[in-house]
């Protein structure tokens, strides 16, 4: 006995093939379209850039509540962290007097403390910028085998985030920190 497909089945198949935005898979042996590759954490999807306003790398703090922008200059060894809002565009001040960067390279853990530096626009007793001149820290931020985390307290809540590796290619490390 041969069964013919039901009308409901045929309609569901037809509708499934005509859904807007769905595209059939590329034939075997052809390259996928360039738009298929998506970063696992594309900051543009969250309404903020992938690079901070000072051209540094962004560190997510909390569930996108805040961001820290890490900028370093290899020539001078300066490492500066700017505290930013959830959009990673505007400064946020905190009562914290320092920020810690914890790095593990090989089996050696190290901690670097960056003191607060008050900026124009910061309210009295608060800061949105932290900076330290340390050639060692600047070099560790480039080491592929190192893991760096930034820790800070904002409004009595501790936050921590991984500092992404930033290779030398395609980035000018001589940015001013104005």
Residue 91 falls within a domain, yes or no?
yes
pTM, to two decimals: 0.67
* Mean pLDDT for all residues in the chain: 75
Residue 94 falls within a domain, yes or no?
yes
Q: Phi and psi dihedrals of 23, rounded to 5?
A: -130, 145
Is the pLDDT assigned to residue 171 strictly greater than 60? no
CATH number of the domain at 110, please.
2.60.40
Contacts of residue 152, defined as CB under 8 A and 6 or more positions apart, other chains included, come to 61, 68, 83, 94, 96, 99, 100, 130, 158, 159, 160
Express each pLDDT in 131-152 by its tens digit: 999 999 999 998 888 899 999 9
Q: Which domain holds residue 69?
A: 49-163
Residue 36 falls within a domain, yes or no?
no
Q: Specify the 3-state DSSP secondary structure of 135.
A: helix
Residue 154 falls within a domain, yes or no?
yes
User: Number of structural domains, the chain?
Assistant: 1
And the tokens for 162? 């991984």
Q: In this predicted structure, what is the pLDDT of residue 106?
A: 82
And the tokens for 16? 């499934």
Residue 22 falls within a domain, yes or no?
no
How far is residue 113's CA from residue 93's CA, in Å, rounded to a whole number?
17
* Percent of all residues in the chain with a pLDDT value above 90, rounded to a whole number: 51
Contact 116, 90 (CB under 8 A): no
Express each pLDDT in 77-95 by its tens digit: 999 999 999 999 999 999 9
Residue 26 falls within a domain, yes or no?
no
Residue 9 falls within a domain, yes or no?
no
Instruction: Write the DSSP string, 2-46.
Output: PPPPPHHHHHHHHHHHT-TT--PPPPTTSPPPGGG---TT-GGGG
Residue 14 falls within a domain, yes or no?
no
Most confident of 11-20, 49-58, 161-170: 49-58
């Amino acid at each position: 006995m041969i069964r013919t497909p039901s009308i409901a089945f045929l309609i569901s198949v037809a509708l499934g093939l005509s859904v807007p935005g769905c595209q059939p898979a590329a034939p075997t042996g052809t390259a996928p379209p360039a738009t298929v590759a998506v970063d696992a954490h594309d900051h543009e999807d969250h309404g903020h850039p992938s690079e901070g306003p000072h051209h540094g790398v962004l560190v997510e703090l909390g569930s996108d509540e805040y961001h820290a922008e890490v900028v370093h200059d290899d020539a001078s060894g300066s490492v500066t962290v700017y505290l930013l809002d959830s959009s990673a565009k505007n400064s946020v001040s905190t009562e914290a007097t320092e920020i810690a960067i914890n790095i593990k390279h090989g089996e050696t853990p190290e901690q670097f403390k960056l003191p607060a530096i008050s900026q124009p626009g910061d309210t009295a007793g608060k800061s949105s910028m932290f900076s330290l001149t340390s050639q060692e820290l600047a070099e560790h931020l480039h080491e592929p085998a190192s893991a760096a985390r930034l820790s800070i307290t904002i409004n009595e809540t501790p936050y921590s985030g991984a500092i992404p590796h930033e290779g030398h290619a395609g980035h000018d490390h001589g940015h001013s920190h104005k």
